[in-house]
């Protein structure tokens, strides 16, 4: 899709559909489309409530073939998050109708860089369909060729916002494509190959740690999980180095859980819904996606990405409940439940990132079902050992409209993960499951400032929204990108 910024006036835009955002408390002029918009309003058919739409053919006084009205709600409450959704709704309303070129004029709303960026992201996100494996009736067969955004005045700031929005939206869709790949096609090595190809295309450093190397390093916790699968594990390391060294000496690590399929292992999961466990590499996909945007947006701080990739399977070589493994950090772990595998692979990865010289660690993982019990599918859980870094992450999440909520991390919770036979167990009891998982991870960060994002509730959308297709959401790509690109000292 071509995204074009221009200054052409509404009436002059020759396009398949011209879009106007209508607020409840600020109606468009009575003359718009020869008075039809006013009529729709008076009849109650279109009142401007959020994301409501109406399509008018051959609007009077305009060169556009159609006029799409989209509700914005109350004008003063219209946020960048609403703008992102609006972009998605526009695309998802017009694309199925085969309308290949769209134009919107943004006038009247405070059009700052963040608003334009959000619109562009929304348009790109709305354009994504998880239909890469359909051979017929693919929604993606219809394509939007161009999306024109007309503004009162062009500026460097807006041009840059468009570039950012595009890089971030495409990065998120890249992550969504990876997550949507089934586990027979996206093995750990295939995921690594995808990351490597992306790194080559965008000029990032790439190193793959294979099984032998990880054995040499002593990644016992990670390798224990990989034992049950015929597919070898791999650790993907991508690196972005800014042109000039960062004055602070800080080095950000972003880390994502890459379980390409989670059967649960010997502590096997119920079969109902198990097909969704291909999204257990959503954390890895999010950090790989984030690196794609980071490579283009070039933040001032160095960023290294780590994605431990394994498949958690059952089989005659699989690890058993009660097995004791030795982590890279040195602590021993009793594997009380083979389905709590994410924390095992992350344990070795967090220690590795810390020992490689990263000063701040942020990880994303589809770690616990319990997080969705606590927060539903709207918020990610945030867990941290460092208030300052947690605040940075929360601020980033807020700025980009990815909702996140902090959890307590009292040391008393460590009691829950005790083991009689090793330094710790890999599960707590019935209660506070997301917190005990986070307390487990904390044991491996070597005292470095660290934030863990439990994204199990938000990485997958069970039902389509008017602005987003069902399936992988690509969360939290935007938070990672914002965190890196807005990092000060």
The H or E element containing residue 482 is helix 477-485
Q: Which tokens belong to 179? A: 């997550």
Are 333 and 198 in contact, with CB atoms under 8 Å apart? no
Minimal distance in Å, beta carbon 380 to ligand BES?
Answer: 12
Minimal distance in Å, beta carbon 262 to ligand BES?
Answer: 5
Minimal distance in Å, beta carbon 181 to ligand BES?
Answer: 17
Choose the contact partner of 48 out of Zn ion, ligand BES, none; CB within 5 to 8 A by kind: none
- Give backbone dihedrals phi and psi of 416, rounded to 5 degrees, phi first: -70, -25
β partners of residue 139: none
Q: Which of 127, 129, 170, 280 binds ligand BES (CB under 6 A)?
A: 280
- Of these residues, 27, 269, 414, 465, which one is catalytic? 269
Closest to 279 measured CA to CA, from 470, 108, 122: 470
Choose the contact partner of 348 out of Zn ion, ligand BES, none; CB within 5 to 8 A by kind: none
In sequence order, what E strands does 219-331 have?
A: 234-240, 252-256, 258-262, 303-312, 324-326
Q: How far apart are CA 31 and CA 172, in angstroms?
A: 40
**Closer to ligand BES by Cβ: residue 126 or 472:** 472
Q: Which tokens belong to 381? A: 């859980």
Q: Which of 341, 348, 402, 443 binds ligand BES (CB under 6 A)?
A: 341
Minimal distance in Å, beta carbon 458 to ligand BES?
Answer: 10
Minimal distance in Å, beta carbon 340 to ligand BES?
Answer: 4
> Is residue 262 involved in binding ligand BES (CB under 6 A)?
yes
- Of these residues, 105, 166, 278, 343, which one is catalytic? 343
- Give backbone dihedrals phi and psi of 237, rounded to 5 degrees, phi first: -125, 115
Alpha helices in 65-139 (DSSP H): 80-94, 113-126
The alpha carbon of residue 222 and the mean position of all alpha carbons in its chain are separated, in whole angstroms, by 24
SS3 318: coil
**Closer to ligand BES by Cβ: residue 1 or 417:** 417
**Closer to ligand BES by Cβ: residue 52 or 341:** 341
Q: How far apart are CA 418 and CA 424, in angstroms?
A: 5
| Residue 343 annotated to the active site | yes
DSSP-assigned letters across all residues of 201-258 = HHT-EEEEE-HHHHHHHT-HHHHHHHTT-SSPPEEEEEEE--SS--TT---EEEEE-E
Select the residue whose beta carbon is closest to ligand BES and give its number.
369
Minimal distance in Å, beta carbon 356 to Zn ion?
Answer: 24
| Residue 95 annotated to the active site | no
Number of residues that bind ligand BES (CB under 6 A): 15
Of the ranges 93-101, 284-292, 337-345, 350-358, which one interacts with ligand BES (CB under 6 A)?
A: 337-345
Choose the contact partner of 121 out of Zn ion, ligand BES, none; CB within 5 to 8 A by kind: none
**Closer to ligand BES by Cβ: residue 335 or 393:** 335
DSSP-assigned letters across all residues of 331-366 = -EEE-S-TT--HHHHHHHHHHHHHHTT-SEEEEEE-
Choose the contact partner of 226 out of ligand BES, Zn ion, none; CB within 5 to 8 A by kind: none
User: Would you name the residues annotated as active-site residues?
Assistant: 269, 343
Question: Which residues here bind ligand BES, judged by CB under 6 A?
Answer: 262, 280, 337, 339-342, 366-370, 427, 433, 456
């Amino acid at each position: 899709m071509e995204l074009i910024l221009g200054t052409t006036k509404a009436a002059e835009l020759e396009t398949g559909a011209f879009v106007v955002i209508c607020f409840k408390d600020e109606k468009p002029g009575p003359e718009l489309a020869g008075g039809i918009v006013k009529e729709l309003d008076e009849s109650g058919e279109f009142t401007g409530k959020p994301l409501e739409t109406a399509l008018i053919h051959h609007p009077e006084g305009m060169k556009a073939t159609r006029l799409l009205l989209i509700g914005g709600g109350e004008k003063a409450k219209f946020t960048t998050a609403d703008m992102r959704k609006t972009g998605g709704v526009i695309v998802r309303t017009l694309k199925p109708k085969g309308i290949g070129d769209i134009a919107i004029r943004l006038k009247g709303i405070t059009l700052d860089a963040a608003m334009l960026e959000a619109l562009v992201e929304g348009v790109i996100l709305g354009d994504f369909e998880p239909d890469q494996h359909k051979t017929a009736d693919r929604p993606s067969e219809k394509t939007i060729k161009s999306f024109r955004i007309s503004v009162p005045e062009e500026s460097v700031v807006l041009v840059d916002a468009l570039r950012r929005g595009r890089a971030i939206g495409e990065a998120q869709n890249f992550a969504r494509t990876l997550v949507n790949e089934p586990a027979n096609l996206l093995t750990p090595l295939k995921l690594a190959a995808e990351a490597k190809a992306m790194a080559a295309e965008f000029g990032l450093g790439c190193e793959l740690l294979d099984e032998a190397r990880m054995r040499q390093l002593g990644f016992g916790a990670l390798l224990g999980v990989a034992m049950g699968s015929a597919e070898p594990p791999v650790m993907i390391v991508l690196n972005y180095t800014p042109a000039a060294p960062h004055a602070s000496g800080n080095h950000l690590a972003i880390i994502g859980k890459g379980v390409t399929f989670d059967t649960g292992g010997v502590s096997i999961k119920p079969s109902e819904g198990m097909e969704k466990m291909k999204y257990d590499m959503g954390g890895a996909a999010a950090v790989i996606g984030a690196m794609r945007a980071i490579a283009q947006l070039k933040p001032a701080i160095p960023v290294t990405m780590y994605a431990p990739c394994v498949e958690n399977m059952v089989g005659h070589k699989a690890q058993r409940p009660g097995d004791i493994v030795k982590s890279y950090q040195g602590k021993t772990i009793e594997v009380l439940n083979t389905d709590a595998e994410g924390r095992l692979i992350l344990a070795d990865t967090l220690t590795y990132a810390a020992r490689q010289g990263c000063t701040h660690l942020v990880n994303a993982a589809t770690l616990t079902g319990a997080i969705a019990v606590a927060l539903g599918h709207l918020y990610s859980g945030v867990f941290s050992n460092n208030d300052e870094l947690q605040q940075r992450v929360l601020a980033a999440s807020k700025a980009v409209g990815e909702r996140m909520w902090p959890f307590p991390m009292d040391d008393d919770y460590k009691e829950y993960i005790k083991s009689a036979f090793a330094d710790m167990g890999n599960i707590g009891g019935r209660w506070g499951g997301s917190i005990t998982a986070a307390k487990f991870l904390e044991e491996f960060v070597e005292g470095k400032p660290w934030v863990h994002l439990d994204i199990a509730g938000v990485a997958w959308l069970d039902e389509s929204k008017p602005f987003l297709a069902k399936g992988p959401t690509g969360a939290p790509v935007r938070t990672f990108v914002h965190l890196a690109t807005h990092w000060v000292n």
